[in-house]
Amino acid sequence: MPFSRFQRALSRCCAFLLLVCVSSAWSGLLVKEDVDKLFADQYLVGDIQPNMPLWPLFARNPAEPDAKPELKGYVFETIDFEPVRGYGGKPIDVMVVMDVNGHFLESKLLDHKEPLFRSEAGIAKLTKFAAQFTGLTTRHNVDIFDFKATPRRDDKYAALHGVQAGTVSAKAITKTIMLSAASVAIAHAEAADIGQIAGAAAAGSRRKPQNEDYSPMGWSEMLSAGMVSTQSFTRADIEKAFANTKATGSDKLASSHPDEAALNVHVALISVPAIGRNLLDNDGWRLLSTNRRQAQALLVTESGPMARMNYESQRVQEELPFEVRQNGKALTLRAMSYDKGLIVPGYPDTTRAYFFIIDNMTPLDPASSFELDLKWGRRFGSYPNQVVNTAFPLHYNFHGWRAAWHEWRSTNWSAIEWVKAWKTRSMEIAVLLVGLVVLTVGLVMQKRLSATTRRLKVWRSAYLLFTLGFIGWYAQGQLTIVNITAALDELRHGGDLGFFMNDPMTVILWIFVAGTLLVWGRGTFCGWLCPFGALQELISMLTQAIGIRQKRLRTAWDAKLKWIKYGVLTVLVASVWLAPSFAEVAVEVEPFKTAISLYFVRDWPYIVWAVLCLGLSVFVYRGYCRYICPLGAALAATNVLQRWSWIPRREACGTPCQTCRHRCEYQAIEPQGKVDYSECFQCLDCVSIYQDEQRCLPLIQERKNPGRVIAIQTGVNA
């Protein structure tokens, strides 16, 4: 079949695959009509709450239609409370029905963008997993095991079965359900009309969450560490601020006790967990976490004889006696309704504490210093409106390495979810690390590794089997373009990449690949660590062994076709910003999920596409990798960072010797003998030829005529 006809067939297949993906896309979130239909036979559905996005459910009582409805529970979507992102970088949305005692009456998957589970079968897997939370409570400790595990539960603990190839997705569903339910309970614990849910919320808040442990510190420790900034004003300082005003002399003790500390002010950024968890109790921290969302929160305290609570006769009452400024811009504050004071040991009882939330419309950068102005007004005369105002500047600067150090120091690593995931997979991580060390040593000693054709072939075949069998099919360590698009989308929305930490294999491989890109280029991953690439090459070895020969394309055709993958990458990256819904399905151009992550157990269009990509490699060496793969294009685009020309070359390479170029299956060597590292897969074949006296022309000539090889190497005619 002519190659142009093959291209057209391939394009039609891609279009069909994307059409199928689009048709199966999940859509739609709850509206009032949906909730009414879902619970028409069981409950009366109230209007959505004005202060929280949830619907109350009331018991039906046909016998007494005029009786006051009895509140039974709530319906809410997790995306409105705790939008936890899954493997695809998008929040997973689950509908949760919770009664007034904190029991889950139903949990139903509404929406997700997980790339492995977009088909009907995939959606069914995640739906089945989410349904396991029915019957649990906000007080349950939940663990996720293998997808074949038998679920079990008691009053306090639940062991749930996981999802095949969906560990990150399962953890995201668990987190979004449990945290959202806790947020609903805590937020309503202060309301008087919510019935018994207040008791459940209070009980839940008393239980210390696993992910909110910290290393306790005393008040003096926090002061010395700079977590709490202190500033003192003497009576003379305050009197000086009102000098030459009508309020001069209001403090009768200023002249006799000028150096007495009149006011001590402490400032702390309590939205930093290492600080807030030490200063607030569990109720306060939960309230802060629920209310602030992505905003920052401050604590300001006063003590001393002129503190506001002790000196109301001189100071003018103000609702917000402080103003926060950063980079010359005033930030908007609102008080937080928390009146329990501070719990930190050593905190003086006479200190008055204020808690403030920084409005998101005027965000505060916690990594930079900021200033507070203590607004103070003194009355004079006999009329209330006769006031002289002044401001006292306060400075706070707890950022950079100090914040990072204390955050790290106060973290209980064993309680963090991703740390648990890494511990669970410790054996897999150990095997992977050993494999990467072995590969690194082999590539560093590339000449010894490729000293003979047989040695190189045996070693390479063995490592490709390790990559396919262990890294790919067993440990699910297939890097994918979805990692890049998910990261771009998350950064586009101002988030971070923390959701990747639940997949240790992906994190370790990306770190290793990032390092080797600077040394060897894309070839380390594409040539050695990509399970799908390994599968293609192993298939090629088998088909060649039975006599099927691959077609070597003309150099001009090869050069043009290699641009296709850059076009695919450009479309995918652009669609992250311009057409996010298209990006979610367009990544299916990558057959990795079908062939590696899901073991070809998927809907038939995906299987057909994966088989076509593998079939292409039978006739064109690693055709998908070289011409279509967007991940390969992304790695190849970083070739500008690669500085080490690690493949040994002679001046005779290219002129007159063309052996390496003709033997290079990837066609990554130019006629002049220069290696195109953006297209090199680091197979080491050319390094082996470089040392082979039977194949390398300069070595052959050296063996026959020692003087001739010197002329070739120096470019001088003998």
Question: Nearest CA to 290 among 50, 51, 96, 35?
Answer: 51
**Angle CA(598)–CA(603)–CA(604) in degrees, nearest 5?**
115
Q: Please, are residues 58 and 72 in contact by the beta-carbon 8 Å criterion? A: yes
For residues 95 and 241, state if they share a domain: no
For residues 552 and 683, state if they share a domain: yes
3-state SS, residue 152 = strand
Number of domains, the chain = 3
Q: Look at residue 420 and tell me if it is in a domain.
A: no
pLDDT reading at 571 higher than 50: yes
Mean pLDDT lowest among 106-115, 200-209, 298-307: 200-209
Placement of tokens 């209070």 in the chain: 202
Q: Please, are residues 506 and 479 in contact by the beta-carbon 8 Å criterion? A: yes
For residues 109 and 46, state if they share a domain: yes
The alpha-helical segments, DSSP class H, found in 207-305 are: 219-224, 235-241, 273-279, 282-292
Mean pLDDT lowest among 79-93, 204-218, 258-272: 204-218
- Separation of alpha carbons 327 and 364, rounded Å: 10
429: alpha, beta or left, given left = phi > 0 and alpha = psi -120 to 50?
Answer: alpha
CA atoms 92, 93, 94, 100: torsion sign: positive
For residues 479 and 623, state if they share a domain: yes
Q: Please, are residues 624 and 536 in contact by the beta-carbon 8 Å criterion? A: yes
The partner residues of 83 in beta bridges, in order of sequence, read none
- Separation of alpha carbons 646 and 686, rounded Å: 11
The alpha-helical segments, DSSP class H, found in 189-318 are: 197-206, 219-224, 235-241, 273-279, 282-292
> Roughly what angle, to the nearest 10 degrees, separates helices 630-637 and 564-578?
90
For residues 476 and 623, state if they share a domain: yes
- Separation of alpha carbons 453 and 572, rounded Å: 40
Q: Look at residue 8 and tell me if it is in a domain.
A: no
For residues 223 and 189, state if they share a domain: no
Which whole number is the average pLDDT over 331-341?
73
Q: Phi and psi dihedrals of 418, rounded to 5?
A: -70, -30
DSSP conformational letter for 420: H
- Separation of alpha carbons 17 and 604, rounded Å: 10
For residues 146 and 269, state if they share a domain: no
C-beta contacts of 493-497 below 8 A and 24+ residues apart: 494/294, 495/85
Contacts (Cβ under 8 Å, ≥6 apart) of 513: 479, 524, 525, 529, 635
For residues 652 and 511, state if they share a domain: yes
Residue 317 confidence class, pLDDT cut points 50, 70, 90: low
pLDDT given for residue 7 in this prediction: 43
- Dig out the tokens for 16 from the structure: 């069909």
Q: What is the pLDDT of residues 227-246, one digit of tens each?
A: 888 888 888 888 887 887 77
Mean pLDDT lowest among 94-103, 294-303, 440-449: 294-303
For residues 290 and 387, state if they share a domain: yes
The partner residues of 244 in beta bridges, in order of sequence, read none
pLDDT given for residue 626 in this prediction: 94
Final residue of a structural domain among 206, 240, 266: 206
Q: Look at residue 7 and tell me if it is in a domain.
A: no
Q: Which range of residues forms the domain containing residue 296?
A: 215-409
pLDDT reading at 401 higher than 50: no
pLDDT given for residue 421 in this prediction: 82
pLDDT given for residue 313 in this prediction: 47
Final residue of a structural domain among 177, 206, 235: 206
For residues 574 and 677, state if they share a domain: yes
Q: Please, are residues 643 and 665 in contact by the beta-carbon 8 Å criterion? A: no
Q: Give the sheet arrangement for strand 322-326, strand by strand.
A: 329-331, 322-326, 370-379, 387-396
Report the percentage of the chain scoring pLDDT > 90. Answer: 27
Report the percentage of the chain scoring pLDDT > 70. Answer: 79
- Dig out the tokens for 508 from the structure: 């370790």
- Separation of alpha carbons 584 and 489, rounded Å: 11
- Separation of alpha carbons 335 and 320, rounded Å: 8
Residue 380 CB coordination number (10 Å) = 16
- Dig out the tokens for 697 from the structure: 């022309």
Which whole number is the average pLDDT over 561-573?
94
For residues 118 and 173, state if they share a domain: yes
Q: Look at residue 508 and tell me if it is in a domain.
A: yes
Q: Look at residue 155 and tell me if it is in a domain.
A: yes
Mean pLDDT lowest among 124-138, 227-241, 562-576, 612-626: 227-241
Which whole number is the average pLDDT over 245-262?
79
- Separation of alpha carbons 424 and 410, rounded Å: 23
Q: Look at residue 539 and tell me if it is in a domain.
A: yes
For residues 405 and 431, state if they share a domain: no
3-state SS, residue 84 = coil
Give, rounded to a whole angstrom, the gap between the first and last alpha carbons of the chain.
Answer: 50
Question: How are beta strands 141-145 and 157-161 bridged, if at all?
Answer: parallel
C-beta contacts of 360-363 below 8 A and 24+ residues apart: 360/293, 360/294, 360/295, 361/332, 362/329, 362/330, 362/331, 362/332, 363/295, 363/296, 363/331
Contacts (Cβ under 8 Å, ≥6 apart) of 268: 222, 227, 228, 229, 275, 279, 298, 299, 396, 398
**CA 108 to centroid of chain Cα atoms:** 24
CA atoms 644, 650, 653, 659: torsion sign: negative
Q: What is the pLDDT of residues 364-398, one digit of tens each?
A: 777 677 888 777 766 666 555 666 667 777 777 66
- In the 3-class helix/strand/coil scheme, how is 339-404 assigned residue by residue? CCCCCCCCCCCCCEEEEEEECCCCCCCCCCCEEEEEEEEEECCCCCCCEEEEEEEEEECCCCHHHH
3-state SS, residue 37 = helix
pLDDT reading at 596 higher than 90: yes
- Separation of alpha carbons 661 and 659, rounded Å: 5
pLDDT given for residue 51 in this prediction: 67
- Separation of alpha carbons 479 and 592, rounded Å: 9
Q: What is the pLDDT of residues 492-507, one digit of tens each?
A: 766 667 778 888 999 9
Q: Look at residue 636 and tell me if it is in a domain.
A: yes
Q: Look at residue 11 and tell me if it is in a domain.
A: no
Final residue of a structural domain among 363, 379, 409: 409
Mean pLDDT lowest among 272-276, 310-314, 319-323, 509-513: 310-314
Placement of tokens 């494999």 in the chain: 435
- Separation of alpha carbons 370 and 22, rounded Å: 48
